[in-house]
Amino acid sequence: MTRLVEVAAGETAAVNLTGIGGAAKPGEGTDTQAPPAGADHGSNGLLIAGWVGTGALAAGAVVTGILATSKSSSLKDARSTFPADKADLDSKASSVKTLALVTDILGASAIILGGVTLYFTLTKPSSTTTARLGTTGDRLLLEGTF
């Protein structure tokens, strides 16, 4: 059974769910269960993903930058040899250009994602979200702070 209940901050709502099989008998089970410690509540997972993505983009920019520098050195050496092979020079120049472009794109993406993630990290609300589920008598209880 699914029931959608909208509750404003600070309000309490009672929801009656009928027709649930295997309900507890009166007087049975009064304990409630909190979510596991450290469980993400949405925004924490997005912040972690933002920082991991920023790191991955930055690492990619560093790797492609190193490769571009290496190819550039190889191109410089090829240009200084005589006679130079035009097809080889064109191929190496194209590789340098492509790697440099990828480096720029990855670096800019890392800066943008890092800035956005930093903004949301610094403006994250300090309130916590908690939810508990349990039974008391013949009732199923769901209690939460959002």
Q: Where are the domains of the chain?
A: 1-34+128-146, 42-125
Q: Which pLDDT score, from 0 to 100, does residue 129 have? A: 67
Q: Which pLDDT score, from 0 to 100, does residue 14 have? A: 76
Q: What is the pLDDT of residues 99-121, one digit of tens each?
A: 999 999 999 999 999 999 999 99
Higher local confidence (pLDDT), 19 or 11: 11
Q: Which pLDDT score, from 0 to 100, does residue 90 have? A: 94
pLDDT at 54 over 90: yes
Q: Look over the chain and give the mean of its residue pLDDT values, rounded to a whole number.
A: 80
Confidence band (pLDDT; 50, 70, 90) for 42? low
Residue 74 vs residues 60, 69, 86, 89, 97: alpha-carbon distances, Å:
21, 9, 14, 10, 13
pTM score: 0.57
What's the CA gap between 115 and 50, in Å, rounded?
A: 10
